[in-house]
Amino acid sequence: MGSRVNVCSVSVLDNPAKFTDPFKLEITFEAFEPLPDAAAMGSRVNVCSVSVLDNPAKFTDPFKLEITFEAFEPLPDDLDWELVYVGAAESEKYDQVLDSVLVGPVVEGRHKFIFEADGPDPSKIPEDDIVGVTVLLLKCSYREQLFIKVGWFVTLEYTDPEMKENPPPTPVLDKVNISLRRLSSTYSGA
């Protein structure tokens, strides 16, 4: 959309929070002109908002995302939504596709749905990477073409000062806090 829309602010609500608390984000944006011709701009779908629900939640509890999107024309094929937990920064082999869901065919207009995916399997994450920094990614594709990726960058840390100073050899998930540092999204149009 270029200079037609400006994201003014992304605020993380209830931050810092416990590891088991939900993600809450407030996104403010402005449009510099009406956008009824978004289809002519090469974009048939606009993701209006993604809200993380069911907070607090434990590490292994399901993620629940409320996704609102708008289709500017009928889409005969499905939108493919996928939620990915990045298990370790050094290798994609630790990434876990938590779930994927097909939505469609989609009629023109505004749509909202809840995407629920099981939490990551801690046995597939290197123990050194369970506490620290990680990423949760929501991706959406149309006709196998990725057009949006939304990422939550999070810090996972112990709440107990002693555990912060001397982390246990095996992570204790119910003692971990989660803090969101920023939200990013990449949009290329569908």
Give the pTM: 0.72
Residue pLDDT tens, the chain, 190 long: 445 566 666 777 777 777 666 667 667 666 666 554 444 434 788 888 888 777 656 677 788 889 999 999 999 999 999 999 999 888 899 999 999 999 999 999 999 999 999 888 889 999 989 888 888 899 999 988 888 888 887 777 887 899 989 999 999 988 877 655 446 666 665 6
C-alpha to C-alpha distance for 97 and 51, rounded to whole angstroms: 19
pLDDT at residue number 181: 46
pLDDT at residue number 174: 83
pLDDT at residue number 178: 64
pLDDT at residue number 182: 46
What range does the domain containing 81 cover? 2-187
Split into its structural domains, the chain has a count of: 1
**What's the CATH number where 83 sits?**
2.60.40.1490
C-alpha to C-alpha distance for 111 and 147, rounded to whole angstroms: 17
pLDDT at residue number 112: 96
Range list of H helices, the chain: 127-130, 161-165
pLDDT at residue number 4: 59
Contacts for 96 with CB less than 8 Å, ≥ 6 apart: 84, 85, 87, 120, 121, 124, 125
